[in-house]
Structure 1
Amino acid sequence: MQTARLTALRGRVAALTAVLLCTALVQAVPQPASAAAARYEAESATIVKGAAESNHSGYSGTGFVNGDNVVGSYVEFTVDAALAGTGTIAIRYANGTTDARPADVAVNGTVVSAARAFDATTDWNTWATSTLTTPVKAGSNKIRLTSTSANGLPNLDYLDFTVTSSDTEPPTAPTAPSCSEITENSLTLGWGAATDNVGVAAYDIYEHGNKFGEAPGTATTKNLTGLTPGTTYNLTVFARDAAGNVSSVSPIVDCTTSRSSDTTAPSAPGTLSTSGLTANSVGLSWGASTDDKGVTAYEVRSGGTVYKTVTGTPPATTTTLTGLACASPYTLDVVAKDAAGNVSPPSNTVTFTTPDCATDGGVPSGVATVSGGWSIPWGTYWMPDGKSALVTERDSFKVLKATPDGTRTQVGTVPNAVTTDGEGGLLGVAVDPKWSTNHYVYFMHTASEGNRVARMTYDGSTLGGYTVLLQGIKKSRYHNGGRLLFGPDGYLYVSTGEAQTPDLAQDKNSLNGKILRMTTDGKAAPGNPFGNYVYSYGHRNPQGLAFDRNGRLWEAEFGDSKKDELNLIKPGKNYGWPVCEGTCTTDGMTNPKKTWNISEASPSGIAIVRNVIYMAALKGERLWRVPITGDTENLGTPSAYYVGTYGRLRTVTKVPGQDQLWLSTTNCDNKGNEPDGSDKLFRVSIT
């Protein structure tokens, strides 16, 4: 009897324990419940063609907005959403006239309610609320009310904003892209429609990692114009829903525009002359070229390498060429180009030597080849003893030991690494500061489910073991980040790209578009600003990390189509993407310390020698030298070395105990188009 009672009691306890455990688990899992409404006062919003006033009663806050009685007056609110999904917008307004005061309501640039009616409210002291729902993305959202009639806007008091449901399911990938209606300057790209649980809002078209165009979610074609004749475009398509979820990438299609029927080249530019020569710049002027169709650009060249392109309608015939290396000889000419890509004969050449350097940081003074035979060497990290370095190859997944005497020895491969047929694969490498006792080395690589940070052992000759430290970093064909670096604090810093999903960069709960800071056992480092792995956010595709003599972190980042960036990274700061590319005036964004046109940079690795930042440029095919001004946060005048000499430059690394750099090329990738084994590793002396 006692045994039966004891058994029954144990059963009740077990059942109660199960209920409590299930309840605890449910409570522990984040639920997509509605949050309380957040209020945004109109007088604190962006006001165009209107003013904040307080001459009526019943308003909230310090006043309300009275818009001008014109078409196009607007008030723009910036609201924050913790989750992507459906948001409820409640607009409090007053309309003391009998006139209709309609307004377009746009969210993140898309009109979600056209000419929405804001009817009369008896008088200006009587307030009403107009409510609508709309898809929103995680992070910052712009909600704009724009008047559509000459009566202008109603008086606006505030906007209440709530995320009422979440949508985290991305669309399926678009299928079978193809090209048709190809001309010299245009083509029509088509694709198979994606599907989504809510609905596809838009399609994004990329060309070699840069956004090239956009189409509405109802379309499956896009006419691409303004193309160059006889040029191959490498195109992919992504689907995006209204909540900002982005599909995986479509298959790739290469489309080549027709060759132009215009075969007449412009005439040679007139006399080229120089003025205003400094250590890092020179003024240039030349006579205008003529062409049967019209000159579209001038290129300033040295030995066939383009230093600068001048465009316009018509393009100017003067420019200042900056970024020159001090105490260096130059021989330049200028050619003209037309829309068909025909190139004129060159102008006369000018020859000059820039004045001596005015710097205490040293300058590159000599280059020697360390070793050849490489195929897309991506990451380089020196061993603590300074006698050898580990080098990763992106597409072969090999890890090699390289020594100053030119020896290169494979020490292993990284398991589970895969390619993305773009910029993914085996990327960064880092050696544990305590390697002599724990023999740990770290890698970032693309795997089947995404990008990972993994740890292996290395005994000086062979890699072993494999432990995944961090998963959940979304991958894509491009924008995978990938740099690893140990900081003075002993923690591992990781750069991640936004995986061609720009909104992830602003989501502080996402691992993408970030600089991460983590422990050597895979946990978020203590003291991180948001209590997770994120150290800084708002990054597009960061690939350069280096600490200066004051322990400050510098970062180089690929822009999209406007500006590449060199940033000083501080914990918790927002570096802008996709709201800003380069310098901007948006509140809450941290501006870069220097920017470049993408044709001059497309930066990957950076390193610091004697308080000077060296930045390797891929598309720009040069090594940028950027001095730090003492111990301030300011940077001096950038100058460029080896322009076009060695091709695409990927990684630059300081040699321990030496005023030297190791510099690697990436000429075997799908943008360099050189055969495997063509890449090299160079030693650069700084004197």
Structure 2
Amino acid sequence: MCGALAVLAGCSRGAADEGDGGLPGAPTGVTATAGSATSVHVMWNAVSSGPGVRRYEVYRGPTRVKDVPASEHMTDVTRLSPATTYVFTVRARDADGRLGPAGREARATTPAAGAADRSAPTRPLAPRGRTVGSRAVQLSWSASTDDREVASYDVYQGSTRIHSVGGNQTATVVTGLRPGTRYSFTVRARDAADNLSPASAPVRLTTAPGSDDGHGTAPASFHAATHRTDGAYYLDLTWIAPTVDGVVTEYQVQLDGEAATSLVWGGPAPRGKASYSFYLGREAGVGHRVRLRARLPDGTWGGFTAERTVITGLP
């Protein structure tokens, strides 16, 4: 059943699975966004399979341009040329020095440089935020203006820049936070000439104490049903991908309280509605409980959906 989704334990190995010979897996969810006329922000999901990852290596075409510690999953590639398309890949290297395979290519085109542009964008206004359980927050703001164009927005946690998004994006989700911790976030706009706006007003949020189930990061509108084909019953699942910063490429299906399968997209992962079906058996009248969760771009598992119950042979 290999199509848009690959079953890790079934038809083909997914991008997050271990490489050959126990090598680290290939990083999934690799994205590249132009930050200015001379820089690109590259982001990827943490690799969880295989031996411990020591660092990530970022390549521009065949050339390695950055080494990033295993604790980080993003970096800026600088000293690029304006109005140029670049191709980036990311590979993981383990503690024994073994290099895993590259993840999928990510392309970004830097904007043209403006002549003698010394005018910074306006500060992002009306910043807002809300906590998503104990380990994530959602941020949004009003768009800045520039005499030419806003190329990207930089998100800061205190005085440290923790992420960048494209100039047409005015919201993001920050994951991998600590429970019961107070944070202060600000946003700055950047234009193609690398001029930075003043910081937005701070958004101060405190994550929930303890450890929750990440319900706010669970896939939405989860439905389960069965159908019969050629004398066999199949489980049909549909859901809406969780709203997070980055791309969700891996899901885990839990059936009757046990992990049934992990799914990795073999092509571009949907940001909206998704679906999957798999074989249950040939006996009618058998009940099953099913739920689903997503691996977030920071490498952690999000919350499970509500559990659904289905019975083979019944609508």
Q: TM-score, normalised by structure 2?
A: 0.39
Bigger radius of gyration among the two: 1
- Higher RCO (C-alpha under 8 Å, 6+ residues apart): 2
Q: TM-score, normalised by structure 1?
A: 0.20
Higher helix fraction (1 or 2): 1
